[in-house]
Amino acid sequence: MGFAAALSLLPARLAAQEMDYGALQELFGEPVTLSATGSPQRVADAPVDMEIITAEDIRRSGADNVPDVLRQVTGIDLRRYGASDADIGIRGYNSANSPRVLVLLNGRQIYVDYHSYTAWATLPVQIEEIRQIEVVKGPNCALFGFNAVSGVINIVTYDPIHDTLHEAVVKGGSIADRQISAIGSGHWGDQAGLRLSAGEHGSAEQSTTNQPVSYQPFPSHAFSRNAYAQSRVDLPAGVNIAAEADFTEAKQFEMTVGGYPGPTAYQTNREKLSIGNLTALGNLDLSLTRNAVNFQYFPGENCITCISINNEVEDALLSDLLKIGASHILRLTLEYQNNRVTGSAFGTEKLSFALAAASVMWNWQVSPEVALTNSLRVDNMQFRFAGPVASSIVYSAKQYDSAPITEPTFNSAIVYRPTAFDSVRLSLARAAQVPDFYALFPEPLSTDPAYSAGAVTAFQGTPNLKPTVIMNYEADYQRTLPSLQSALQLSLFTLTSRDVLAPPGDSGVIDPATDYGYAGNIGSSRAIGGEFGIKGSNPQGWRWRAGYAAVFIADDLSVNRNPSLPNSSIDNQRGTPKHVVTLGLGRSWDDFEADLAGRWQSGFSDIRVGNDGVTLTRFPVKDYVTLDGRVGYRPHEWVLLSVSGQQLNQSRLLQSSGPPVEQRVIGSVTFSF
């Protein structure tokens, strides 16, 4: 069923929040997405290159965290630096604390704005309550929001009204791995629903034996706990109210921005309230969110790098989704965001920015075979700084209270369906990566004598940095193969990045008088690549998939042209695996199921801090193979037993410049009520 057929099933006034994913999946015969345009679409009809990972895919992977689920997605680059610390890149450009991927939970951002990255240990939901994970590849700022530079990962949970979920899970295994979680939901007719979940996870950290001295004094265990509540009430006259709230606490070893490792701790509180109303002007929706994150580096330790950062974000989003005639859908959006940072790292300084944005999306079904989607967004960001600036810093307080940044972004795509089995998509996108707090603002100098003695380089932000502007050109082809009971997908893309941003310590901008490192725009980068994937299953219970991704990056960066400059973690040309192959095979029969997944990737160059705790060096990561597997047995409809293994082919494996990743074998018992 295509876009036109889907439109005919919708009311004249769309109500995206009220859509039942389960009913839509049954209607389309496959998973569907609402996130790209606000209307239900198959992946082949969407104006973006998207892959949907279903709840069945997640369960059969045996993974107990989202990054490990994503490892098997074609085009994903995963670097694991600790037992719970991972960084995700899409189509290359990955690094420690990668800022180029926007991560959403039911459409609301969950990354940490101070460094614009995702601390995966603070994801508040249990993996069993995830209905699907939508992986959007390529720049999509105009459709999803600013900083969706390399792609988007949207995590969709089960609906509190339409889905019933009662589960308790206990897991345990090697490397002192333990996990317990519970999920419960309740309904009041078809008008109201509530789901609650909570969990706790702990494991031994990866061994730092034979690692640089700077890696040694780290905690021996990673730990996280979380609680999450999601509710919705549907009222008469087309009004619905939805609310979400969560709390997380996590401690882990982490590779921070620029390649400097250390123990970290997080506490997060997030809330969201949405009010939707079907009106004569369309489906109006107002969403109010608050994200509060406390980040501590070297928590509780007495050292010069001890920092505590509080980042609070308040966001108001007003959207209108309306259907015009039989072939047009418009989505109009206004957004305002207030983003503040305080903490011991800043003393009396006040750092903030205000974001005002407007966007419009127009989806036109030109004919039964052709659909056109255009989206335009304009962001205006006003940065504010108040506080003292040390005389040794080259910029003044007035300069840090900098001029606003205004950037337009757009996405344009045409989808052609010549037959019921074929889909061709051509797309063009302009995206912008905006400088974060760390790159824009100064940090007070420590009173520790190591600074004045020159033993430690002070890192400072630079005012008036330019955003990195990305242009992406892409062609995608998808085909259903009934004779093989499979579907294949092919993507080709070329991408350019102008005014590449580099944080302090990575830009090569150093004041010789003080040895302070400043952020900067360091040049340009080009990438060309492609992806191929095939996936299928048959009535006999067999399922299979295979994928290949290639990306070739050419950097023109000042930090790499000048051998006299210190090493930088911004080295996309050498820091991206050029080739990745993924394979999967599984079968279900009677009450048993078994799956095997393999991944090979070519080598790349990562960054590592030396024994002095300051100097960065290049670290080669050789090509490697990982083999994961899972076996499940259901002795009763309420009980599922499973054993899963990760990295079964090697006990310890270097997957980044961090400590080697340990082999894991985990047993789990799931009770469903």
Give per-residue pLDDT as tens, 130-178. 999 999 999 999 999 878 899 999 999 999 998 899 999 999 998 889 9
Give the model's confidence band at 336: pLDDT under 50 very low, under 70 low, under 90 confident, else very high: very high
Angle at 609 between CA 608 and CA 614, to 5 degrees: 155
Q: What pLDDT does residue 665 have?
A: 95
Q: Which of the residue ranges 69-73, 271-275, 590-594, 610-614 would you say has the lowest mean pLDDT?
A: 610-614
Structure tokens that stand for 428 in this block:
């063009």
Q: What pLDDT does residue 16 have?
A: 42
Region 642-658: mean pLDDT is 92
What mean pLDDT is reported for the chain? Answer: 87
Question: Residue 380 domain-assigned?
Answer: yes
Owning domain of residue 229: 3-623
Q: What pLDDT does residue 447 have?
A: 42
pTM as predicted = 0.92
Whether the Cβ atoms of residue 627 and residue 598 lie closer than 8 Å to each other? yes
Q: What pLDDT does residue 284 have?
A: 92
Give per-residue pLDDT as tens, 226-244. 999 999 999 988 899 999 9
- pLDDT: is 508 or 106 the higher one? 106
Whether the Cβ atoms of residue 303 and residue 333 lie closer than 8 Å to each other? no
pLDDT at 470 over 70: yes
Region 267-293: mean pLDDT is 92
The rounded distance, in Å, linking the Cα atoms of 59 and 76 is: 19
Question: Residue 382 domain-assigned?
Answer: yes
Counted domains in the chain = 1
Region 540-549: mean pLDDT is 96
Could you tell me where the DSSP H helices lie in 573-672? none
Question: Residue 494 domain-assigned?
Answer: yes
Give the model's confidence band at 444: pLDDT under 50 very low, under 70 low, under 90 confident, else very high: low
Give the model's confidence band at 579: pLDDT under 50 very low, under 70 low, under 90 confident, else very high: very high
Structure tokens that stand for 124 in this block:
């508040």
Give per-residue pLDDT as tens, 199-212. 999 998 877 766 67
- DSSP helix/strand/coil, 497: strand
Whether the Cβ atoms of residue 609 and residue 261 lie closer than 8 Å to each other? yes
The rounded distance, in Å, linking the Cα atoms of 522 and 439 is: 13
Q: What pLDDT does residue 564 have?
A: 62
The torsion defined by the Cα of 628, 634, 639 and 645, in degrees rounded to 10, comes to: -10
* Nearest Cα residue to 40 out of 132, 138, 103, 125: 132
Q: What pLDDT does residue 451 have?
A: 41
Region 300-322: mean pLDDT is 80
Give per-residue pLDDT as tens, 588-631. 999 999 999 999 999 999 888 777 666 778 889 999 999 999 99
Q: What pLDDT does residue 517 have?
A: 83
Question: Residue 566 domain-assigned?
Answer: yes
- pLDDT: is 216 or 319 the higher one? 319
Question: Residue 665 domain-assigned?
Answer: no
Question: Which helix (H) or strand (E) covers residue 221, if one does?
Answer: strand 221-235
Domain CATH code at residue 583: 2.40.170.20
Q: What pLDDT does residue 487 have?
A: 94
Q: How many CB atoms lie within 10 A of CB 250?
A: 23
pLDDT at 14 over 60: no
Q: Which of the residue ranges 61-65, 428-432, 569-573, 586-590 would you say has the lowest mean pLDDT?
A: 569-573
* Nearest Cα residue to 169 out of 181, 159, 160: 181
Whether the Cβ atoms of residue 323 and residue 331 lie closer than 8 Å to each other? no
Question: Residue 490 domain-assigned?
Answer: yes
pLDDT at 669 over 70: yes
With pLDDT > 90 as the criterion, what percentage of the chain qualifies?
A: 57
Give the model's confidence band at 4: pLDDT under 50 very low, under 70 low, under 90 confident, else very high: very low
Q: What pLDDT does residue 94 have?
A: 87
Give the model's confidence band at 2: pLDDT under 50 very low, under 70 low, under 90 confident, else very high: very low
Question: Residue 531 domain-assigned?
Answer: yes
Give per-residue pLDDT as tens, 373-387. 999 999 999 988 888
Structure tokens that stand for 641 in this block:
């037993």
- pLDDT: is 392 or 284 the higher one? 284
Give per-residue pLDDT as tens, 475-526. 999 999 999 999 999 999 999 999 999 888 778 788 888 878 888 999 999 9
Question: Residue 372 domain-assigned?
Answer: yes
Q: What pLDDT does residue 48 have?
A: 93
